Amino acid sequence: MASNLHTFNGKVVIITGASSGIGKACALEFANNGASVVLAARRENELKKTEEEIKMQGGDAMSVKTDVSNIEDCKMLITKTIEKYKKIDVLVNNAGISMRASFEDLDLNVIKELMDTNFYGAVYCTKFALPYLLEQKGTIIGISSISGLTPLPGRTGYCASKYALDGFFNTLRLENIKKGLNVLVVHPGFTSSNIRKAALNKLGVPQIETPRNENKMMSSKEVAEIIVNATLNRKRDLTLTLQGKLTVWLYKNFPGLTDRLIIHVMAKEPNSPF
């Protein structure tokens, strides 16, 4: 970690999905900037490793084993945070899973699992944290995706969950526009993380192998640095990577052409159903 910047001294930040990828990178980056960080995820061992890493760097962190698809777990996450820190300044709704299969072949339970984690997990955590965030005039962050703005074949459930997330957070921002709450929706492009290896296949089993070249992607650390800076500046929207911005612009202005370009690119993936 770089030298401590102190920009979030005294702030309390909750991050879901903090055991790997963007979530872990955000935890390290917020802690590096002086925040007390609450780490939430299902994999307790990985959370503890990140907690220890933060503490070894002189930071403050607490781990809470949390399955965001479980409403009681989300409630407990907020309760434990308030018990220890007495307030919440930032909630990063990052927990998420992906999938890779055509809808025609897909077991419906896969879509339910994605919606329960990616969408309802964010809804539950936001509901319980909202009173405390309003008190602090804090920031709620939703980690969406370029796939919350454009289609992505083979990821119907993933896209549906991210489109839902966008609608939810954009409306929540408007409902609280006079209360000083900041809502930041982040649309990462393809980011080097664990999400593709853990993506569910048509039967709901992790695919293990990533179908894309991870080395050519934006790193989770780069994404986290941008998110922390945007939180500091109370931004409302981020669309990341040049390819991501171009895809969104093309889809908005030339949807038919962009459909053909997207399917052409995705057909090149190993074992693509297209």
Residue 251 known to be catalytic: no
Query: For residue 25, what are its two tokens?
Result: 């990178």
Three-state DSSP class for 11? coil
Q: How far apart are CA 188 and CA 3, in angstroms?
A: 26
The answer to whether the beta carbons of residues 181 and 138 sit under 8 Å apart is: yes
d(CA 95, CA 85): 22
Q: Which residues have a Cβ under 8 Å from the Cβ of 54 and sit 6 or more positions away?
A: 27, 28, 31, 37, 60, 61
Cα separation, 11 vs 17, in Å, equals 19
Q: Contact 6/34 with Cβ under 8 angstroms?
A: yes
Give the residue ranges of DSSP H helices in the chain.
21-32, 44-56, 71-85, 108-114, 121-136, 156-175, 220-232, 242-253, 255-266
Catalytic, out of 85, 120, 124, 158: 158
Instruction: Write the DSSP string, 174-233.
Output: HHTTTTT-EEEEEE--SEESSTTTT-B-TTS-B--S-SS-GGGSEEHHHHHHHHHHHHHT
In 3D space, the residue among 126, 141, 147 whose CA is nearest the CA of residue 184 turns out to be: 141
Distance in angstroms (rounded) separating the CA atoms of residues 95 and 119:
9
Instruction: Provide φ and ψ at 41, rounded to 5°.
Output: -175, 175
Active site residues: 158
